[in-house]
Amino acid sequence: MSEALVTVNALSHEFDISKPWLNRVLEGEGRQVVKAVSDVSLSIPRGQTFGLVGESGCGKSTIARLMVGLMPPSSGQVRFDGVEVGGIGWADQRRRVQMIFQDPFASLNPRWRIQWILAEPIRTFALLKDGAAISERVGELLRLVGLDPLDGQKYPHEFSGGQRQRIAIARALASEPDFIVCDEPTSALDVSVQAQVLNLMRELQQRLGLTYLLISHDLAVVRHMSDLIGVMYLGRLVEVAAKKHLFEAPAHPYTRLLLDAVPDVEILDRPEAAGRRTAISGEIPSPIDPPSGCAFHPRCPLRFAPCDTQRPDLAEHDGAQVACHALNAK
C-alpha cells in the first residue's frame, strides 16, 4: 500500500443560500445554509483510484471543487503531498493537480481552437516557452488520447461528446499532473463511448502513474475503475472500503440499498432477486433540512435509539470503515 498522496481532514463546506438582505428583513427570515459537505476525511494512496459514489445532494461535486482548490472550504483542509491546498506553497504545487469535468460540451471554450485550449496550461505554467515546442507537445498530447495532431486546428463543435472528453483529458495531462479529479467524466456519454474513455483513463493511469479521484453516481463504473471506494450520503461519508470488499460485503445500510436498487442488466440472471428486492423506502431528503443525528435514519431498516439524535463517526468494521451506530455497536 503506497503512501497517501492526498489527504482530506474534517472537510466541511456550507453554501449560503439566504435571500438578499432586503428580502430577509422584509420577510423576517433568517439566514439559510446548506451543509454540502460535512466532516469528510479520507486519504488517497499514490497511483491508485479512489471512487466517490453517491446520489444527488451528497456533496461529491462540491468535494471535487474543494480538492482542486476552486473554492476554499468552510472548515477542514485538503493536503496534497503534504502541502495544504490553498495554503502556503500551494502555488508551486498547483500544476500537479488537475480536473476533468462532466459536461463535454461546456468544458471546452467553443471559440477557441483545440491547440489553444491545450496550450493554455503549458503556457500558464511556463512548461515550455518556444511556440514550436508547444505545438509539438500539443500534437503529442492529442496522440496520447487517441486523436490526430491535425485536430488541433479544429473547434470543439466539430467533435463528438466522447472526443471532447478525450480533449479534456489531454488538457488535464498538459500540465503534467500527478493527481486528477474526475467529476462524472462519462455520465453524459453513451455507454459504448464511455467504455472507450474509461479504458483510455486506465491505460493513462498505468502509463503515467496517475492518481485519480473518480466521482460518479454509477456504481458499475466506479467498480470498474476504483481501488478504494467511498460512499456519500447528504454530505457525509458513510462507508469507505476496498472495491472487492464493498461489492461483496457491503456494510452500511445505504450502500446495500444502493447496490440493490440499481437497474441492472444482470437481474435477468438472478430471477429470484427480482421479486425480493429490499423494500426501498423514501427518497433522499433535501440537503437544506437534513434529518437529525444520522442522516439516513428515516430510511434505515437497522435504526434504533441513538440514530436520530447522534451522528455516527466512521469506525473500523470488518475491514472497512463504516459510519453506523447499529454496526459499530456490535
CB of 330 to other proteins, least distance (A): 26
Q: Which amino acid, one-letter code, is at 315?
A: A
- Report in angstroms how near the CB of residue 111 gets to other proteins at its nearest: 4
Any contact of residue 266 with other proteins (CB under 8 A)? yes
Among 187, 293, 298, 306, binds other proteins (CB under 8 A): 187
Show contacts with other proteins in window 4-43 (CB under 8 A): none
Residue 249 binds other proteins, judged by CB under 8 A: no
Cell 500540465, residue located: 175
Quote the least distance from Cβ 301 to other proteins, whole Å. Answer: 14
Angle value at C-alpha 63, between 281 and 36, nearest 5 degrees:
55
> Residue 37 or 68: which CB sits closer to other proteins?
68
Residue 132 in the binding site for other proteins (CB under 8 A): no
Out of 30, 130, 192, 207, which residue is the one contacting other proteins (CB under 8 A)? 192
Q: Which range of residues in 6-14, 28-36, 57-65, 318-326 is near other proteins by CB under 8 A?
A: 57-65
CB of 32 to other proteins, least distance (A): 17
From 131-139, 204-212, 273-281, 304-312, span contacting other proteins (CB under 8 A) = 273-281
**Site for other proteins contains 57 (CB under 8 A):** yes
In angstroms, give the least distance from the CB of 43 to other proteins: 22
Q: Are 120 and 111 in contact (CB under 8 A)?
A: no
- Can you tell me which of 86, 247, 308, 317 binds other proteins, judged by CB under 8 A? 247
Q: Binding residue for other proteins (CB under 8 A) from 245, 259, 302, 308?
A: 259
Angstrom distance (rounded) from CA 134 to CA 119: 7
For residue 263, state whether it binds other proteins (rule: CB under 8 A). Answer: yes
Q: Quick check: 84 binds other proteins (CB under 8 A)?
A: no
Stretch that binds other proteins, among 22-30, 32-40, 127-135, 243-251 (CB under 8 A): 243-251
User: Scanning residues 157 to 176, which ones bind other proteins (CB under 8 A)?
Assistant: 157-158, 160-163, 168, 171, 175
Cα–Cα dist 94/239, whole Å: 29
